[in-house]
Amino acid sequence: MFREQQLPLRQFLLGLLRNRAEADDVLQQVFLKLVENWPSMRLDTAKSWLFTVAYHETLALRRRRVRHDTALAELWARPAWISQSPPPADAEAVRREEIDTVRQALAELPETQREVVRRRVYENQKFADIAAELGCPLGTVLTRMRLALKALARALQE
């Protein structure tokens, strides 16, 4: 099935992207999604599914490209002297004071909220994994995080 649609998909992607390498990358992503979804694939809708996935992958690639181009433009827009000059003498003291303020605000959070923040921010865990490990519903973990962020925002504004 994929072999039959490979050439039409590639032509479709070339028309959208106007770049052969990017079209090939998206085509590969479509193939990977096909492999992942093969057990649940319905052959009567496979062709439209492939083209829909190709279109959505193209949009995702364009969004990534815009973010990348924007980040590069911001980087190049910075004056060169900013990255070459040493920071002001008091910058380190200010930075340490800010870190201490954040640590103090974290310490004032209830233990349940602090645990969720620690796992999410410092251990980079997903909310679903945190919920599973703590043995509580996902909604509870999300609420704890939201409340913690509100409390931290209030504390840091002061």
Domains belonging to the chain, first-starting first, are 2-77 (1.10.1740), 92-157 (1.10.10.10)
Q: How far apart are CA 136 and CA 28, in angstroms?
A: 39
| Prediction pTM value | 0.48
Task: Round the CA-based radius of gyration of the chain to a whole number and report it.
Answer: 24
Instruction: Please give the single-letter amino acid code of residue 79.
Output: P
What's residue 77's pLDDT? 77
Instruction: Average pLDDT across each block of 10 residues of the chain; the chain has 158 residues. List them in order.
Output: 86 94 94 90 90 95 90 76 61 82 89 92 89 93 91 83
SS (H, E, C) the chain: CHHHHHHHHHHHHHHHHCCHHHHHHHHHHHHHHHHHHHHHCCHHHHHHHHHHHHHHHHHHHHHHHHHHHHHHHHHHHCCHHHHHCCCCCCHHHHHHHHHHHHHHHHHCCCHHHHHHHHHHHHCCCCHHHHHHHHCCCHHHHHHHHHHHHHHHHHHHHC
86 near 132, Cβ under 8 Å? no
Instruction: Note the residue count of the chain.
Output: 158
What's residue 56's pLDDT? 96
